[in-house]
Structure 1
Amino acid sequence: MKKPNFKRLLALQASAGSGKTFALSVRFVALILQKQNGQFSQNISNILAITFTNKAANEMKSNIIETFLNMDANEPGISAKESKKRRDRVNAIADLLGVDYDDVLALSQERRSDFLNSELKIYTFDAFFSQILRRFSLNVGLMPDFKIQNNIDEIINIKFINALSPDELKELSLYLSTSDFSAYSFLENLASNPGLCLPYPPSPKANNSDVLAHFDELKKQAIVKGLIPKRSLNKFEISSVKEIATLMASKTKYIEKIQSELNAIYDDLYQALKKYYKAYEAYKISHFLRLVNKYSHVRAQTISELGELDFKDVSANVYKLLKMGEQKFDVNELYFRLDARISDILIDEFQDTNIEQYEILLPLIEEIISGLGQNEHIGSFFYVGDIKQSIYRFRGGDKKIFDFLIEKFTKNGIRQIQKDSLDINYRSTKKIVEFVNQTFKDKISNYQAQKPNSQDDGLVDVSSFDSNDLDSFLTLLASKVNFILNNKIPPNQITILCWQNKDINIIKEYLQSQNIKVASRAKYLINDISVSLVLEYLKFCIFGRSYHGRYLYEYLGQNFAPIKINFDDNASILKLLASRLGLNIYSKNLLKLYEISQNYPNIIDFIYEMQNCNELSLDYEEDGINITTVHKSKGLGFACCIVCDNLSGLNRNNSAFLSDFDLYKNRWEIKLNDKILEFLGDDDFIKLKQNDEILEKQERINALYVALTRAKSNLFILCANNASANKPSYFKAYGKDGENEILNLSDLTQGSLHNLLTNQAQNTLEECQIPPFAKIKSQDIKSEPKANNIDPKTAYFGMALHYLLEMSADFSYECLERAMQALINAYGYNLTKHDLANIKQRAKHFIDAFNENFKHYKICLKEQTLSFEGEILRLDLLLLDEQSAVVIDYKSSLANLEKNKEQVNKYMRAIKHIYAKQSTKGLIAVLGEQKCELINV
């Protein structure tokens, strides 16, 4: 018997591309297969896995199902690649359990029935917290049938403003005028930080009389002694404390001379300033926290009245629930109301956890670590993440929690939570991994170098442009794109990463002007970003609703005031709005918008009718280069990645207050964000400010690490030379003697261009085996384009039928049974038992037909996407061998047969274009309840 390698309490540091998802899925399955005293040690539904997004939760569930149901590496018909993948997974499970490969297969068969009949508890943070809140809703003044909405902020904000006194409104206006917050971003920030609802003693306004008296005395004596140059006398004609403090903090020679020769008087003024600012800060923080508490009260009252809340409120109310009263939260009460005990917890992307999420989960974590309240099975706790990829501090993510949790549960120098790391990179080619290691080894504390799994070199290309010349950047970018395209790599394998949303439009318009295809997700005109921005601004001007202004702020990063408009000159007002937003007023889609607007008698009729506009975007292109921001790229990988330098200024923390949660003291630290406090020797401010600047720089380096680790095969970096404080570079040192540096890269070329797509295609043809089913979301059953008239139940039925056939790995009855469980997990909540039985019966008919007619085909590709004649085509099933290709399209009835035949003919032409040597045949598989009918096209 081998020794199990299962660590009950484990923090796993997983660098980019190192197999984080693999490790989490394998551990989840190992937990299911664990035995204790000859019995499986826990209920599958007592295992909880949490992540951040629905997409991640669905992928996690899919990986776990696939890992559990597809273990046999020797299954007939699977490819060598699939066989290796299965063997690696099973060996990893065997290592955790301390058993052999065959033992894992036997355990999975023994546990199979339990697995197929159990609910997998894989949730987002929001979904899990929603479950808790529904069980305890009455405790926080909500009814259990509350609804989760995304549009309640407007109502709450209006009620909050109306609830403020004139003095409070003045205080709020003053606060906003001295910070970078807009009114709506400030209120959104209040809603996102329930932990700031702190008691704070009321403080009186600071008295400035002492400061003014001491300053007058200092000025008088300095003039008498001739210590102030005549040209600077006007600088002493000031009467506000802020101006006095700023003057004293300046490093001018005459101020230093005054301090030296009038030391006692200067010191009296300095002490008066310290006393004043201490009182002033207490007053400002007191009033700020009063606003926070008042907002929290208004928000709680409003959502209780409406019976509606958003996900921010879900977390805030669960947080409030756990913090109620003096008594510690009773975890057993939680388990009782959830109808299940949580024995094992797995958390993904832990570096992005915020304080609120951490404190909500802490009671559950503490109980698992202590082992209390658990009978036969002692639970486990596992979290995985990478603090090098912590880039969501602006959303409250706190990377310190990752290591703090280990420290918190350390007794007598012995860690209860063990820490491990993954050091092999499975995503990127060798040259990229080596370059990333070299770039960040001295930039990230305790950086652990990764080892490349790939044997291919790939390419790293670092080039420079003039930061003061946008054309220089665009020309360089286009040259790199053309270099890749000229080497037979298709545009959909290229991704350009930039830093701000507004950069996307600049790059997109330039590449399109060079006849380079750029992917656009906006199929319809009203979804084009330029068009949607103009329409939102128009609504803001007409209706004055702040959420229209918030849309502009969130996308463009600045506030726009509504303007008075001419209601009769439609095209002119749209051009004016586009110009004020800084958009290209002559872009194709905006020109189309102006043209459409001329069909309406006034702008009001136009804005209402545009909501139903089905005009297509003029630059809709799915098969083109992808352009996105670094933050949106996190978690993804791209064959060819071009990372652009910063094209704008840096975003800095200009908030009126600095705040940070001290994990060791378990409390928020809040200070006035005023550099005068540094001059006055406020140690708490200096420490908090330095910490804020360190975290800001670390996060910027983390974002660069994320950017440079997205590339699979080829990495291009475009660096800005001649950068300045107004337009800094992320990749080049700038300033006097290069004093400002985030990274400092030299132009270089390492390795050679690697075409990942060509290699994969070649490997597929050489194997001539049936590959595993494609991980592509199933398409809808095709029908006449009358989407608004489709019965939702019919749509779900069609999607489920496609999904079942996609998940049936080799079209056998055994695989069908496994696929049914995946179907139930994905679509079961929308289908009846009769529907499920009906779908399964139709799939059986197709499996019979497939095995009778097509089993001899060596390559079987499901749900394949390809571009042909400017259109994106999705093939349900493509069968290939050396002589022929067969395209099969699934239908649930004979309706619209002629139109469906036209579509299949198009598929056949596309396949004939790709596989010119093979004969091509097309079939429609009508999946009926009684039989599967194959119709030749």
Structure 2
Amino acid sequence: MKEILAKNLLILASAGSGKTYQLGNRVIGKIGKEGVEPERIVALTFTRKAAGEFADSVLTKLAKGSLDPREAKSVCKDIGATVDLPAVLEKVIRALPQIQFTTLDGFFSRIVRGFQYELGLTGGTFDLLEGEQLKTAQEKILQGVLRDGFGQRQEFFYAFRKASLGQGQQGVQRSLEEFIETWHGIWKSGSGKNAFGNSRVFVDLPQIEDWFDQKDGLIADLRDESRGKTWEAMLDNFRDHVVGKSLVMNTFGKRLLDVLDEPGPVEVKDGRKMLTISLEVWEIWQQLFRLAIRCELSSAVCKTEAIGELMEQVDREHREQLRKRGLLSFDDVKILLGEWSQSEDARLRRELIDYRLDGRYDHWLLDEFQDTSRAEWHGLEPLIDEAVADPEGSFFVVGDRKQGIFAWRGGDVSLFDDVLRQYEGGIKIEPMDVSWRSCPAVLELVNAVCGNLGLIKDLFGRAVSEKWQWKDHESAKPEVSGEAKVVEVSKDEEEEALLLELRRLGIGQKELSCGVLVRKGDQVKKYAELLRGEGFDVIEAGQRTPGSDHAVGVVIKHLIEWIANPANNYSREVLAMSPV
């Protein structure tokens, strides 16, 4: 890549295109060619594993280049400059304790620990919670919130009653934990109350009651049995529709919706014939559809604002209780670092931190940018702004919109567009569309699906298709053979189809490995046991409990329990039924 050392660079890197390789080139080039001190570089990603792989790739590349002239020549060619790799390796090793090749959570946590008073955390030390420890603390806080909400805090109860569409008190209480887990996560991602409904954005929305007051007259004006059954059936669907529920649409109704913005008269296909709808009648259809749409929008805004009111109370209570106990979650850390955009006092406090950090770090590298949340970006934004504007600083970001699969935990692919607007003219863009991982057959299928604008429009609408950016992927190994296909089977046939395909490929017979991806974590165990039962060697990803979900593990567990306590009759009976 010719521009790998450009001051500010955004790389749109497809899967398998070598982004980790280019990240390593960037670091080595900054140190070797531009003379940057390693400890002034910050490289951030999302997992400890990815951070470790990145550090390993830099050190391995430097070590090989220091020992092998051919490797050194290759590295220097990638960077576009002759670099003294042994000297760079020595610099990096000496600076290892200060180098920031870490996760976003880890970096933010170090900042909060180092600047807790500037961030308003008074009262001594605090502990960072994660995993089961955090879950337990949150459950205790939620129980307190529930007591207050259904007791003294009537506004809390009222807000949730609105948000949950009138469930009874017991039903509300049962569903609250699941409800909060979802919506509080969105709140903590950096959305804030203004993102929940915000009726000021929408102009002249009708009242929900307008649907019941006006629909019957419009439907009566459209009744015409001579138009056919599908016409009347769609009107019946409108008659039975209740705001807040999905409107049932037959094929005719979907075709009407497709041309809703067109002026009358219009022609719409109905079965094998074309119906011509006059201007006068078409305007009534438009009124009916738009009334339903706007009333649904009004209902959605009302419910979402109510959820925002609830989350504001939950979040305030959550943070107050954690801080009273000297506890913080990683989400709280991100919010603290992003509070500079919420108030003047927070901005001034953040400036004290940024002044010191700007003097320590000049060069920023962000990996997997498509998984970055707004809360995380707000936490980094002042530091990135300074690096982009500073002649001695730099900003490097790599990601791929198509791989943005972590919206559920706050990942926001629209940040790509925000960054390009914010630094317009000050950041270069480089695509990486050549894959070193996939064979041509696989990429042909990817291109056929993701490059099909007609399909994108049908699935997600015209607005998405117009914004969809796509360039066909190529394989760096065109000579490699392979196969890609889509097999459609019923749910009952999934297991048999998988076994047939594995046997056809020769998995277990040839020197081949095969990955099987499933949609949900609980399916891992199901398919692993299926494949083991059919004689395949299986290594599972994720966590297992071998003492309860594997036959041999269960026997060993009960053997140990029986040895520890021979009076344990249950374990003795389990052992008696086993080969042991």
- State if a TM-score over 0.5 links the two structures: yes
Which residue of the partner structure matches residue 174 of structure 1? 165
Mapped pair 1:160 → 2:122:
no
Which residue of the partner structure matches residue 426 of structure 1? 436
Q: Secondary structure at the match of 1:511?
A: helix
CA distance in 2, matches of 1:352, 1:486: 39
The TM-score, its normalising length taken from structure 2, stands at 0.70
Mapped pair 1:190 → 2:183:
yes
Which residue of the partner structure matches residue 17 of structure 1? 16
Amino acid at match of 2:125: D
Which residue of the partner structure matches residue 29 of structure 1? 28
**Residue-by-residue CA offset, 1:366-395 (whole Å, 9 max, x unaligned):** 111222xxxxx6111111122232222232
CA distance in 2, matches of 1:457, 1:264: 58
1:144–1:420 distance in 2 versus 1, CA, 3 Å: farther
Q: CA deviation at 1:127?
A: 1.0
Q: Tell me if the contact between 1:90 and 1:104 (Cα under 8 Å) persists in the aligned partners.
A: no
Query: Which one of 44, 49, 72 corresponds to residue 43 of structure 2?
Result: 49
Which residue of the partner structure matches residue 487 of structure 1? 510
Q: Tell me if the contact between 2:8 and 2:394 (Cα under 8 Å) persists in the aligned partners.
A: yes
CA distance in 1, matches of 2:294, 2:451: 46
Query: Which one of 33, 51, 54 corresponds to residue 60 of structure 1?
Result: 54
Which residue of the partner structure matches residue 303 of structure 1? 322
Q: Secondary structure at the match of 2:66?
A: coil
Give the number of the structure whose residues are more often helix, by fraction. 2
Q: CA deviation at 1:216?
A: 7.2
1:47–1:249 distance in 2 versus 1, CA, 3 Å: same
1:432–1:446 distance in 2 versus 1, CA, 3 Å: closer
Q: Tell me if the contact between 1:196 and 1:289 (Cα under 8 Å) persists in the aligned partners.
A: no
Amino acid at match of 1:393: A
Q: Tell me if the contact between 2:370 and 2:413 (Cα under 8 Å) persists in the aligned partners.
A: yes
CA distance in 2, matches of 1:420, 1:265: 50
Amino acid at match of 2:386: E
Query: Which one of 70, 80, 88 corresponds to residue 108 of structure 1?
Result: 88
Which residue of the partner structure matches residue 365 of structure 2? 346
The 5 A counterparts of 1:304-703 are 304-325=323-344, 333-338=352-357, 340-371=359-390, 378-410=392-424, 415-429=425-439, 432=442, 440-442=450-452, 445-452=469-476, 454=477, 457-460=480-483, 462=485, 464=487, 466-468=489-491, 469-470=493-494, 472-480=496-504, 483-489=506-512, 493-520=513-540, 526-527=545-546, 531=548, 588=551
Q: Tell me if the contact between 2:38 and 2:92 (Cα under 8 Å) persists in the aligned partners.
A: no
Q: CA deviation at 1:49?
A: 0.8
Give the number of the structure whose residues are more often strand, by fraction. 1
CA distance in 1, matches of 2:484, 2:210: 63
**Residue-by-residue CA offset, 1:852-872 (whole Å, 9 max, x unaligned):** xxxxxxxxxxxxxxxxxxxxx
Q: Tell me if the contact between 2:163 and 2:306 (Cα under 8 Å) persists in the aligned partners.
A: no
The TM-score, its normalising length taken from structure 1, stands at 0.46
The 5 A counterparts of 1:848-859 are none
CA distance in 2, matches of 1:393, 1:311: 17
* Unpaired stretches in structure 1, ≥5 consecutive residues: 75-82, 372-376, 533-586, 600-604, 610-614, 619-937
1:499–1:55 distance in 2 versus 1, CA, 3 Å: same
Amino acid at match of 1:15: S
CA distance in 2, matches of 1:346, 1:291: 37
Q: CA deviation at 1:284?
A: 2.7
1:328–1:51 distance in 2 versus 1, CA, 3 Å: same
CA distance in 2, matches of 1:284, 1:136: 39
Query: Which one of 105, 109, 113 corresponds to residue 130 of structure 1?
Result: 109
Amino-acid identity (%): 21
The 5 A counterparts of 1:201-212 are 212=212
Which residue of the partner structure matches residue 71 of structure 1? 65
Q: Secondary structure at the match of 2:385?
A: helix
Q: Secondary structure at the match of 1:518?
A: coil
1:243–1:134 distance in 2 versus 1, CA, 3 Å: closer
CA distance in 1, matches of 2:412, 2:212: 43
Q: Tell me if the contact between 1:597 and 1:606 (Cα under 8 Å) persists in the aligned partners.
A: no
Q: CA deviation at 1:363?
A: 1.5
Which residue of the partner structure matches residue 848 of structure 1? none
Q: Tell me if the contact between 1:212 and 1:239 (Cα under 8 Å) persists in the aligned partners.
A: no
Q: CA deviation at 1:70?
A: 4.4
Mapped pair 1:92 → 2:112:
no
Q: CA deviation at 1:429?
A: 4.8
The 5 A counterparts of 1:741-760 are none
Q: CA deviation at 1:289?
A: 1.5
* Unpaired stretches in structure 2, ≥5 consecutive residues: 257-274, 454-467, 563-567
Which residue of the partner structure matches residue 882 of structure 1? none
Q: Secondary structure at the match of 1:510?
A: helix
Q: Tell me if the contact between 1:440 and 1:447 (Cα under 8 Å) persists in the aligned partners.
A: no
Q: Which has the higher contact order (CA 8 A, sep 6+)?
A: 2
The 5 A counterparts of 1:280-299 are 280-299=299-318
CA distance in 2, matches of 1:51, 1:175: 43
The 5 A counterparts of 1:267-282 are 280-282=299-301
**Residue-by-residue CA offset, 1:145-195 (whole Å, 9 max, x unaligned):** 22111322212322332232343343344389999x964343123332233
**Residue-by-residue CA offset, 1:232-257 (whole Å, 9 max, x unaligned):** 9xx7999996399969999789xx9x
Q: Secondary structure at the match of 2:376?
A: helix
1:498–1:237 distance in 2 versus 1, CA, 3 Å: closer
CA distance in 2, matches of 1:271, 1:455: 52
Q: Secondary structure at the match of 2:335?
A: helix
CA distance in 1, matches of 2:368, 2:47: 10
**Residue-by-residue CA offset, 1:662-697 (whole Å, 9 max, x unaligned):** xxxxxxxxxxxxxxxxxxxxxxxxxxxxxxxxxxxx
Q: Secondary structure at the match of 1:421?
A: strand
CA distance in 2, matches of 1:422, 1:329: 40
CA distance in 2, matches of 1:217, 1:188: 43
Q: Tell me if the contact between 1:474 and 1:510 (Cα under 8 Å) persists in the aligned partners.
A: no
Q: Tell me if the contact between 2:163 and 2:304 (Cα under 8 Å) persists in the aligned partners.
A: no
Q: CA deviation at 1:592?
A: 5.5
Q: CA deviation at 1:297?
A: 0.7
Q: CA deviation at 1:514?
A: 1.7
Q: CA deviation at 1:124?
A: 0.7
CA distance in 2, matches of 1:264, 1:27: 60
Which residue of the partner structure matches residue 683 of structure 1? none
CA distance in 1, matches of 2:46, 2:25: 19
1:48–1:162 distance in 2 versus 1, CA, 3 Å: same
1:28–1:283 distance in 2 versus 1, CA, 3 Å: same
1:196–1:388 distance in 2 versus 1, CA, 3 Å: closer
The 5 A counterparts of 1:211-290 are 212=212, 242=243, 280-290=299-309
CA distance in 2, matches of 1:437, 1:45: 41
CA distance in 1, matches of 2:101, 2:368: 14
Amino acid at match of 1:89: V
**Residue-by-residue CA offset, 1:909-929 (whole Å, 9 max, x unaligned):** xxxxxxxxxxxxxxxxxxxxx
1:276–1:249 distance in 2 versus 1, CA, 3 Å: farther
Q: Tell me if the contact between 1:214 and 1:265 (Cα under 8 Å) persists in the aligned partners.
A: no
1:175–1:394 distance in 2 versus 1, CA, 3 Å: farther
Amino acid at match of 1:503: Q
The 5 A counterparts of 1:706-745 are none
How many residue pairs end up in the alignment?
506
Q: CA deviation at 1:494?
A: 2.9
CA distance in 2, matches of 1:238, 1:339: 63
Amino acid at match of 2:38: I
CA RMSD of aligned residues (A): 5.2
Q: CA deviation at 1:271?
A: 9.1
1:43–1:294 distance in 2 versus 1, CA, 3 Å: same
CA distance in 1, matches of 2:248, 2:531: 51
Structure with higher Rg: it is 1
